[in-house]
Amino acid sequence: MRVFGKYWRCFQMGMQNAIEYRADFLIGLVSGSFAVLLQVFLWTAMFESGDRQTLYGYSYQQMIAYVIIAGIVSRLVATGFEYEVAGDIKSGGLSKFIVQPIHYLYFRMFCFFGSKAPQSLFIFIVAIATVLLVDGSLHAEELLRRLAFFVPAMLLALALNFFIFYCVSILAFWLTEAWAAFIGLNLLINICSGGVFPLDVFGATFMKIVSFSPFPYTIFFPINILNGKISADAMLQGCMLQLLWIVVLMGCSGLWWKQGMKKYIAVGG
């Protein structure tokens, strides 16, 4: 019980820290909306000029809903703790976790979940509102059915993205100035996750390749659940794959972390 209390406290601390930074979150949301707005104009122009009902398998409404929801879901799963991990590694801050009876991975994980908790509700509401706004004919029953999958898929996506970026952050053991690598990887992973465009846009080959990676399951997959693009069977299968990837990355991060710790020399003599 007390062991659980430990991590529950981490969760709360993450949450409080996020609330301290609520303005930061709102500003991020506003600046993120510019990119979304740009895309809305882009797709509107493309649909109008092409005179077509669908592009890359998306109707105009579906596409608009996708880019808006992708914008906010990207923000929800976005990590940022990789910089803190790198900082801990570089400055020797990791030492304080070594001397305390706490597991660094779980500490980070629960802080991360905690920091996401206050935003989650807000983001869920916006996402649902977007779907309803774009597709006015949607039945309440159908919406509930999609939500029944969307909510767990989103939680799994959050956990999955945590482990992806935890693995990325371990790079800092070998790269003293890891931030440049983080920025590049962040962008690449966001694109491969479908955080910018729907993955269908990049063509079938690309889709095939990324489907063997964990990335589409963090953004592309949950949005398509909400968007009504995939069948119930595919939803279930997707969630299973999310779980599988979480287990795989958890194992990898454990191994890499051990390797990294061997390299870790607390700074200062």
Partner 1 sequence: MAIIVKDLNKQYHYYKKQAGLAQSVKNLFHREKLVKEAVRNISFSIDEGEIVGFLGPNGAGKTTTLKMLSGILFPTGGSASVLGFTPWERKKEFKKRFAIVLGQKSQLWPDLPAYESFQLNKAIYEVDDRTFSATLDELVELLDVKELLHVQARRLSLGERMKMELIASLIHRPRILFLDEPTIGLDVISQKKIREFIRKYNERFKITVLLTSHYMKDIEELCRRTIVINEGQVMFDGDLNRIKTSFADIKRLKVQFAEEVDVERLRSFGKVTEWDGVHATIETNHQDVPAVSQQLLNRFPVLDFAVEEQPIDEAVAKLFAKGG
- Answer yes or no whether residue 145 interacts with partner 1 by CB under 8 A: no
**239 contact partners, CB below 8 Å, separation of at least 6:** 149, 152, 153, 156
Compare residues 61 and 95 and give the one whose CB is closer to partner 1. Answer: 95
* Nearest-angstrom CA–CA distance, 118 and 169: 24
Compare residues 104 and 202 and give the one whose CB is closer to partner 1. Answer: 104
- Answer yes or no whether residue 54 interacts with partner 1 by CB under 8 A: no
Q: Are the CB atoms for 216 and 193 separated by under 8 Å?
A: yes
DSSP letters along 207-249, please? HHHHTTSSGGGTTHHHHHHHHT-S-HHHHHHHHHHHHHHHHHH
Q: Which of 59, 61, 95, 120 binds partner 1 (CB under 8 A)?
A: 95
What letter does residue 138 receive in the DSSP assignment? -
Q: Which of 28, 92, 118, 228 binds partner 1 (CB under 8 A)?
A: 92
Stretch that binds partner 1, among 88-96, 123-131, 156-164, 227-235 (CB under 8 A): 88-96
- Answer yes or no whether residue 28 interacts with partner 1 by CB under 8 A: no
DSSP letters along 59-83, please? EHHHHHHHHHHHHHHHHHH---HHH
Q: Shortest Cβ distance from residue 84 to partner 1 (Å)? A: 11
Compare residues 102 and 243 and give the one whose CB is closer to partner 1. Answer: 102
Compare residues 26 and 244 and give the one whose CB is closer to partner 1. Answer: 26
Q: Are the CB atoms for 194 and 223 separated by under 8 Å?
A: yes
- Answer yes or no whether residue 5 interacts with partner 1 by CB under 8 A: yes
Q: Are the CB atoms for 215 and 193 separated by under 8 Å?
A: yes
Q: Which residues bind partner 1 (CB under 8 A)?
A: 2-3, 5-6, 8-10, 13, 16-17, 20-21, 91-93, 95-96, 98-102, 265-266, 268-269
